[in-house]
């Protein structure tokens, strides 16, 4: 009797590590299956090392490709694993192609699915992740919602599985990594001063695959009157190279992708975050840093309602205005981080307890 945990991408590894550790603690047999969607050390291995997670039981080595290829190929490769190992339950975190393929392959073979980070919705079906998470939620037997909003979304969609409000495992790992983040030297290494710089990440196809959009976004962010540290995702690196965009003497400083601990340290010392990532919006919030969300819609509306996250898309005027607003209202903004809709840092404990009770 064991549980298969399907991971494949950077954010999935991060949000799964506290669950893996809790499973070890509660002696829940768990096999990690890495799909190989992310294969660069900087997007995969580094997080296992930094967060001291055990090596995956198996790596399916699927690699990059179109969404259809990736999803179908992961399903095919997973079938072999599932048929051989016959897990009691399959656990899928998040909304990536690896998570969708994991959920679909499992239900088609008759294995029950449990979904971590269930119920997040941005109501934009052009986003691959929105399609993925809706499909996963509707074929899962157990749904672990990170916030009240997420639970309400699931109930209003009348999902058939059992919904548990547990909190966010990303907050668990954020909290437990604080001491390590304190020791990080990244601020000195990059020669930065506290609260005197911004952090930028962008990797979504809809933003980076269009060179005109990408250039307009950089132009708007260059208006922020401060250094902007920009760890560049490999996909974005490829697009920058292909489109000939050079950030040369601008205030945007591209750097190679960084580890989780370094990112936490950067966030903690930054003044403002620009991102199109789902996870970074939350990590900025927990670091008490205002965030400009470079997307048309967000699944973390809790943060918009609290007035700490601003949805600007890649519209130059909105980015410039929101940046000005943040700068002009900084001390007021800093008072808006008092409550936390993402739980108490014990989501993983609750998840593993439910899993133990389920598989007996
Ligand atoms: C995926 C997830 C996204 C998540 C992101 C985190 C889906 C639909 N998207 O997007 O939700 O926020 O991971 O990073 O699953 N590449 C490398 N090395 C790697 C992996 C990718 O160079 O190890 C490059 C390849 O050119 C690849 C491109 O990045 O084609 C995109 O990778 P992919 O996994 O398809 O999507 P992400 O943009 O990373």
Q: Residue 134: CA atoms inside 13 Å, Cβ hemisphere, count?
A: 14
Within 10 Å of residue 123's Cβ, how many Cβ atoms?
Answer: 10
pLDDT at 225: 85
CB 156 within 8 A of CB 163: no
pLDDT at 115: 99
pTM of the model: 0.97
The number of the ligand 1 atom at minimal distance from the alpha carbon of 11 is: 6
The number of the ligand 1 atom at minimal distance from the alpha carbon of 128 is: 8
Alpha carbon of 277 to ligand 1 centroid (Å) = 12
Sequence-ordered list of residues with C-beta below 8 angstroms from that of 146, at least 6 positions apart, any chain: 117, 118, 119, 120, 166, 167, 168, 169, 170, 342, 343, 347
pLDDT at 61: 98
Q: Which contiguous run of DSSP H or E holds residue 100?
A: helix 97-108
Closest Cα to atom 18, ligand 1: which residue? Answer: 40
The number of the ligand 1 atom at minimal distance from the alpha carbon of 44 is: 23
The number of the ligand 1 atom at minimal distance from the alpha carbon of 100 is: 15
pLDDT at 223: 87
Out of 37, 40, 293, mutate this one to test ligand 1's pocket (max ligand atoms within 8 Å of CB): namely: 37
Closest Cα to atom 19, ligand 1: which residue? Answer: 38
CB 135 within 8 A of CB 44: no
Q: Which two tokens stand for residue 332?
A: 């007021």
Out of 35, 120, 233, mutate this one to test ligand 1's pocket (max ligand atoms within 8 Å of CB): namely: 233
Q: How far apart are CA 125 and CA 136, in angstroms?
A: 14
pLDDT at 70: 98
Of 3.30.10.20, 3.40.50.2000, 2.60.40.10, 3.40.30.10, the CATH number of 178-337 is 3.40.50.2000
- The domain locations on the chain are 3-168+343-359, 178-337
Task: With a cut of 70, list the residues of the chain below it in pLDDT.
Answer: none
Out of 6, 7, 9, mutate this one to test ligand 1's pocket (max ligand atoms within 8 Å of CB): namely: 9
Q: What residues line ligand 1, using a CB cutoff of 6 Å?
A: 9-11, 37-40, 43, 64, 96-97, 128-129, 203, 233-235, 238, 277
The number of the ligand 1 atom at minimal distance from the alpha carbon of 98 is: 15
Closest Cα to atom 24, ligand 1: which residue? Answer: 235
pLDDT at 284: 98
pLDDT at 271: 97
Q: Do domains 3-168+343-359 and 178-337 have the same CATH topology?
A: yes
Alpha carbon of 288 to ligand 1 centroid (Å) = 27
Alpha carbon of 156 to ligand 1 centroid (Å) = 31
Q: What strands lie across the sheet with 142-145, from one edge to the other?
A: 58-59, 30-34, 3-7, 89-93, 113-116, 142-145, 162-165
How many percent of the chain have pLDDT more than 70?
100
Q: How far, in Å, are 8, 10, 34, 84, 98 from residue 38 at the CA level?
A: 6, 7, 9, 24, 10
Alpha carbon of 86 to ligand 1 centroid (Å) = 29
Alpha carbon of 234 to ligand 1 centroid (Å) = 8
Q: Which two tokens stand for residue 319?
A: 């980015």
Out of 11, 14, 41, 64, mutate this one to test ligand 1's pocket (max ligand atoms within 8 Å of CB): namely: 64
Q: Which contiguous run of DSSP H or E holds residue 347?
A: helix 347-359
At the topology level of CATH, where does 3-168+343-359 sit?
A: Rossmann fold (3.40.50)
Q: How far apart are CA 10 and CA 48, in angstroms?
A: 10
pLDDT at 360: 81
The number of the ligand 1 atom at minimal distance from the alpha carbon of 132 is: 8
Which is catalytic among the residues 38, 149, 203, 269?
A: 203
Can 38 be counted among the known catalytic residues?
Answer: no
Closest Cα to atom 31, ligand 1: which residue? Answer: 235
């Amino acid at each position: 009797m064991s549980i298969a945990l399907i991971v494949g991408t950077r954010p999935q590894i991060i949000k799964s590590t506290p669950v893996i550790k809790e499973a070890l603690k509660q002696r829940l047999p768990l096999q990690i299956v890495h799909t190989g969607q992310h294969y660069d050390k900087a997007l995969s291995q580094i997080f296992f090392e930094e967060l001291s997670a055990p090596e995956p039981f198996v790596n399916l080595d699927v690699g990059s490709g179109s969404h259809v290829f990736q999803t179908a190929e992961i399903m095919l490769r997973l079938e072999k694993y599932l048929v051989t190992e016959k897990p009691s339950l399959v656990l899928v975190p998040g909304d990536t192609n690896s998570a969708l393929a994991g959920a679909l392959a499992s239900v088609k073979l008759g294995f029950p699915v449990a979904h971590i980070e269930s119920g997040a919705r941005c109501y934009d079906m052009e986003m691959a992740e929105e399609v993925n998470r809706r499909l996963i939620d509707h074929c899962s037997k157990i749904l672990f919602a990170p916030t009240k909003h997420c639970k309400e979304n699931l109930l209003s969609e009348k999902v058939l599985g059992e919904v548990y409000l547990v909190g966010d495992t990303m907050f668990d790992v954020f909290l437990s990594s604080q001491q390590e983040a304190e020791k990080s030297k990244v601020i000195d290494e990059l020669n930065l001063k506290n609260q005197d710089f911004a952090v930028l990440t962008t990797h979504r196809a809809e933003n980076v695959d269009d060179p005109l959009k990408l250039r307009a976004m950089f132009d708007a962010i260059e208006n922020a009157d401060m250094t902007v540290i920009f760890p560049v995702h490999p996909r974005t690196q490829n697009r920058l190279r292909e489109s000939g965009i050079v950030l040369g003497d601008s205030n945007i400083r591209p750097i190679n992708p960084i580890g989780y601990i370094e990112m936490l340290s950067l966030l903690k010392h930054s003044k403002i975050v620009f991102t199109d990532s789902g996870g970074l919006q939350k990590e900025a919030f927990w670091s008490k840093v205002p965030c400009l969300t470079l997307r048309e819609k967000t699944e973390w509306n809790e943060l918009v309602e609290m007035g700490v996250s601003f949805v600007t898309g890649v519209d130059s005027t909105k980015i410039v205005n929101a940046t000005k607003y943040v700068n002009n209202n900084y001390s007021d903004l800093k008072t808006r981080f008092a409550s936390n809709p993402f739980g108490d840092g014990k989501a993983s404990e609750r998840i593993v307890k439910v899993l133990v009770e389920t598989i007996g």
